[in-house]
Structure 1
Amino acid sequence: MPDPTTRDRAARGEIEKLPSGSLRVRVYAGVDPVSRKRRYLMETVPAGPTAAQEAEAVRARLVSAVDHQRAGRHTPPGGGAPATATAARHRERRGGDLTVATIARLAGVSTATVSKVLNGRPGVAPQTRRQVETALREHRYRRPETPARAASIEVVFYGMLSNLAIQILHGVERVTSAHNLSVGFTDVLQQSSTVGSWAHDLLSRRPTGVVTVHLSAPTEQHALLAASAIPHVVLDPTGEPEHPVPSVGATDWNGALAATRHLLELGHRRIGVITGPPERLCARARLDGIRAAMDAEGVPLDERLVRAGHWFAFEDGLNHGRELLRLDHPPTAILCGNDLQALGVYEAARQSGRRIPDDLSVVGFDDITPTRWCGPAMTTVRQPFIEMGATAAKLVLAIAAGQPLGHERVELATTLIVRESTAPPR
């Protein structure tokens, strides 16, 4: 057979080698008439000297089962008594979804241990827990039954900035209150234990669903929630998750484009930029939007005026603002990754004796409440955090109800809010 390190697409069905050495066999079985989703028969062959031959035999058997199913025959491949509808469904379920016993065999543990991991219960050694989680992730296990869930949605933050978190929680609560659900929250950054432990804690509480904010959890955590049948949606993920998960965000690129065009229309050409951390998706999208607006105007962004923040923090704006304003030819305007950075630039301008907007125009991003109180009131790009929280909650409830999602990624519109911190350059 072909090298199993790549998927065998020459014959019907696919054979994929997993990191553990096991081989996963998958055969397309048509479209489910109810959910309209593609169905597959899948089985996993443990690693071993005869794994390749066994996987090929499994592939042939699954292909034959699909052919008989499509032909409307009720006699199992290879002869035998006619199969009942219940037996056929059971065979299909075992072909399409691994059992706890199979995962236990692959991980070399008992079924009770696998059950403890899936339910977030104690009594499992850390190394054994990681071993089980690896098997769940590699073999894409999904809990076949719908477990009893607590009447709550958990919101997990990584760095709970109060100005944003309150709006997001209000949005989630707006949806949950109509369904008699409560809202709980956790700040992973403030936990004394490791960041990865939050998923284990949630498994033990078994909420109706989970919304993670500004957090692209390790693949292990995404896979663990999925394996335990807990609906999960990411709000404004920091990076592209390796494990597929629905997400909600804002039109960062469009927002940055509009803010840059505003400064260009005022006459600014020497524009400084302070971004968020480069690994953040939203920071990259905003920087790309700025570049697109300036390229369209025929004024390429001067890379010497670009600074990357360690975090979306006041200190980023203060320190980088000082650097930019000390240049021999300082910028006449500064676009910031968020409002906190922009407030830091306000302080850098004050310390250097510059007035906003007479000597320097400043634009933020987010539209947190203090932007209306600072002097002068700040021009910024508004993100609809309440609506984003509500949308994430709706997606979670849709997944919990087994409803198909129209889109795996939802982006809500940003809005440029022009106030008194921007003016034509001198």
Structure 2
Amino acid sequence: MARTARASTSAGPTLAVVAREAGVSVPTASKVVNGREDVAPETRRRVAEALDRLGYVRRPRFDTSKAPRMVDLVVDSLESSGSGAVLHGVEEAAYDAGLEVVVSAAPNRSRPAGPREVLRPERGWLERLVVRGSSGVLFNLAEPTAAQYAWLEQHRIPFVLIDPAVEPPPGVVSVGAANWQGGVTATEHLLRLGHERIAVVAGQRRRPDSGARVAGYRSALTSAGVRHRPEYVRHAGFDRAESRRRMRELLDLPVPPTAVFVCSDAMALGVYEVLAERGVAVPDDMSVVGFDDLPEARWVTPALTTVRQPLSEMAATALRLLLRMMDGHHPESTRTELSTRLVERASTAPPRSV
């Protein structure tokens, strides 16, 4: 009877039919359709298979013919200057394309992310996405859960990751910076000044951007024939307070470094604080190179030499890729990298011994 009823309706299968096919209740099937996460993985799989098998199409709750196209931007924080650069890039590109942008932040913003924490879009966000009628999503550092990825794929809502904090799943489109080359550039700059005792204060061990920057640092040392010292590599989880602790450890070594490459400008500010606390002058006693080129890099004294990560350009590129995906075109490559460059200021100089 159920299959006869489905064949006789031109509107397609109802949610009740899908629920019966999957052997679940209608509310449970509704949770899966609306992206709710409080559903067991096996139940979610059965419902998803039934949706595909029966050709169920979720009806929009809005009139798309009367609304401008809209995209969502989910960021890790609305407070950092890095997020401000991303917002600027998305805003300009969206204006040129005639798109509206809705911005939201990952939860738990009352405290900094821990070294192994991945910030997720909050529960209920997917339901609001459907109600708003967004045609695509940009994620900046905030990473979707496996269930959210599956929901977006199932509902054919394209999405792009900007500067992803973890390695994206296969096939997921992302835009980032040339982090490895940035690490090489920062280290080569210090080597040219005559430094050989060069330390690195890195971000999170498992983040791909942090790993690439450290790999670039090591590659530059190897190419220059400079011995790599394992004790000079410290991880601070992209946390300013943690970077202070790691810099104190470096200064307390029997043979401390004469220069340090810090893998974010925010951590470099923490390094500056420790150097001032210990009476170590920048750059006379310690050269410092950051990474990002945030506004703070120009405001500190001395102004910070840093590797510019083109955050606004990365965000604009991601928006343009998303727009093409919304029009049915999938990029040939899932990873787009924009070049980095060194911005020389006043925080580096030859070591005193030279």
Please classify the TM superposition score into its range, dividing by the shorter chain length.
Answer: 0.7 to 0.9
Offset of 1:274 from its aligned partner? Answer: 0.7
2:75 partner letter: F
Q: Does the 8 Å contact 1:356/1:362 carry over to 2?
A: yes
**Distance (whole Å) between structure 2 residues aligned to residue 289 and residue 141 of structure 1:** 45
| Matching residue within 238, 241, 265 for 2:192 | 265
Q: Does the 8 Å contact 1:266/1:424 carry over to 2?
A: yes
Where does residue 172 of structure 2 map in the other structure? 245
Where does residue 304 of structure 1 map in the other structure? 231
Offset of 1:361 from its aligned partner? Answer: 0.3
Q: Does the 8 Å contact 1:119/1:228 carry over to 2?
A: no
Q: Is 2:107 aligned against 1:189?
A: yes
- Residue-pair matches, total: 324
Identity of matched residues, %:
40
Q: Does the 8 Å contact 1:146/1:229 carry over to 2?
A: no
Where does residue 382 of structure 1 map in the other structure? 308
Offset of 1:226 from its aligned partner? Answer: 1.2
Query: In structure 2, do the counterparts of structure 1 residues 220 and 236 end up closer, same or farther at CA, with 3 Å as the change threshold?
Result: same
Structure of higher RCO (CA pairs closer than 8 Å, 6+ residues apart): 2
Where does residue 133 of structure 1 map in the other structure? 44
Offset of 1:144 from its aligned partner? Answer: 8.2
More displaced, 333-342 or 293-302?
A: 293-302
Where does residue 348 of structure 1 map in the other structure? 274
Q: How does 1:173-212 map to 2 (within 5 A)?
A: 173-190=91-108, 195=121, 197=123, 198-212=125-139
Secondary structure in 1 aligned to 2:186? helix
Q: Deviation digits for residues 41-80 of structure 1, max 9, x if unmatched?
A: xxxxxxxxxxxxxxxxxxxxxxxxxxxxxxxxxxxxxxxx
Query: In structure 2, do the counterparts of structure 1 residues 271 and 114 end up closer, same or farther at CA, with 3 Å as the change threshold?
Result: same
**Distance (whole Å) between structure 2 residues aligned to residue 272 and residue 191 of structure 1:** 31
**Distance (whole Å) between structure 1 residues aligned to residue 166 and residue 338 of structure 2:** 18
**Distance (whole Å) between structure 1 residues aligned to residue 44 and residue 109 of structure 2:** 22
**Distance (whole Å) between structure 1 residues aligned to residue 70 and residue 330 of structure 2:** 21
1:155 partner letter: L
| Matching residue within 288, 304, 315 for 1:362 | 288
Secondary structure in 2 aligned to 1:126? coil
1:134 partner letter: R
Q: Does the 8 Å contact 1:294/1:301 carry over to 2?
A: yes
Q: Does the 8 Å contact 1:118/1:227 carry over to 2?
A: no
Q: Does the 8 Å contact 1:271/1:333 carry over to 2?
A: yes
In the superposition, the TM-score normalised over structure 1's length comes to 0.69
**Which has the greater radius of gyration?**
1
What residue ranges of structure 1 are gaps of 5+ in the alignment?
Answer: 1-98
1:241 partner letter: P
Q: Is 2:210 aligned against 1:283?
A: yes
Where does residue 146 of structure 2 map in the other structure? 219
Offset of 1:297 from its aligned partner? Answer: 1.0
**Distance (whole Å) between structure 1 residues aligned to residue 51 and residue 275 of structure 2:** 53
**Distance (whole Å) between structure 1 residues aligned to residue 240 and residue 274 of structure 2:** 10
More displaced, 215-224 or 322-331?
A: 215-224
Query: In structure 2, do the counterparts of structure 1 residues 413 and 103 end up closer, same or farther at CA, with 3 Å as the change threshold?
Result: farther
Offset of 1:341 from its aligned partner? Answer: 0.7
Q: Does the 8 Å contact 1:136/1:227 carry over to 2?
A: no
Q: Is 2:329 aligned against 1:411?
A: no
Offset of 1:135 from its aligned partner? Answer: 4.0
Where does residue 167 of structure 1 map in the other structure? 85
Q: Does the 8 Å contact 2:29/2:47 carry over to 1?
A: no
Query: In structure 2, do the counterparts of structure 1 residues 141 and 270 end up closer, same or farther at CA, with 3 Å as the change threshold?
Result: farther
Query: In structure 2, do the counterparts of structure 1 residues 168 and 305 end up closer, same or farther at CA, with 3 Å as the change threshold?
Result: same
**Distance (whole Å) between structure 2 residues aligned to residue 235 and residue 194 of structure 1:** 14
In the superposition, the TM-score normalised over structure 2's length comes to 0.82
**Distance (whole Å) between structure 1 residues aligned to residue 150 and residue 73 of structure 2:** 18
**Distance (whole Å) between structure 2 residues aligned to residue 125 and residue 313 of structure 1:** 30
Offset of 1:286 from its aligned partner? Answer: 0.4
Offset of 1:141 from its aligned partner? Answer: 5.3
Secondary structure in 1 aligned to 2:151? helix
Offset of 1:133 from its aligned partner? Answer: 3.4
| Matching residue within 249, 256, 260 for 1:334 | 260
**Distance (whole Å) between structure 1 residues aligned to residue 160 and residue 133 of structure 2:** 15
**Distance (whole Å) between structure 2 residues aligned to residue 105 and residue 210 of structure 1:** 32
1:109 partner letter: V
Secondary structure in 1 aligned to 2:107? helix
Q: Does the 8 Å contact 1:248/1:411 carry over to 2?
A: yes
Query: In structure 2, do the counterparts of structure 1 residues 229 and 196 end up closer, same or farther at CA, with 3 Å as the change threshold?
Result: same
1:307 partner letter: R
Offset of 1:298 from its aligned partner? Answer: 1.2
2:39 partner letter: Q
Q: Does the 8 Å contact 1:336/1:362 carry over to 2?
A: yes
Query: In structure 2, do the counterparts of structure 1 residues 255 and 100 end up closer, same or farther at CA, with 3 Å as the change threshold?
Result: farther
Offset of 1:212 from its aligned partner? Answer: 0.6
Offset of 1:380 from its aligned partner? Answer: 0.3
Secondary structure in 2 aligned to 1:416? strand
More displaced, 219-228 or 111-120?
A: 111-120
Offset of 1:404 from its aligned partner? Answer: 3.2
More displaced, 151-160 or 190-199?
A: 190-199
Offset of 1:394 from its aligned partner? Answer: 0.9
**Distance (whole Å) between structure 2 residues aligned to residue 264 and residue 226 of structure 1:** 47
Secondary structure in 1 aligned to 2:39? helix
More displaced, 185-194 or 241-250?
A: 185-194
**Distance (whole Å) between structure 1 residues aligned to residue 134 and residue 107 of structure 2:** 21
Query: In structure 2, do the counterparts of structure 1 residues 387 and 195 end up closer, same or farther at CA, with 3 Å as the change threshold?
Result: closer
Where does residue 233 of structure 1 map in the other structure? 160
**Distance (whole Å) between structure 2 residues aligned to residue 141 and residue 322 of structure 1:** 57
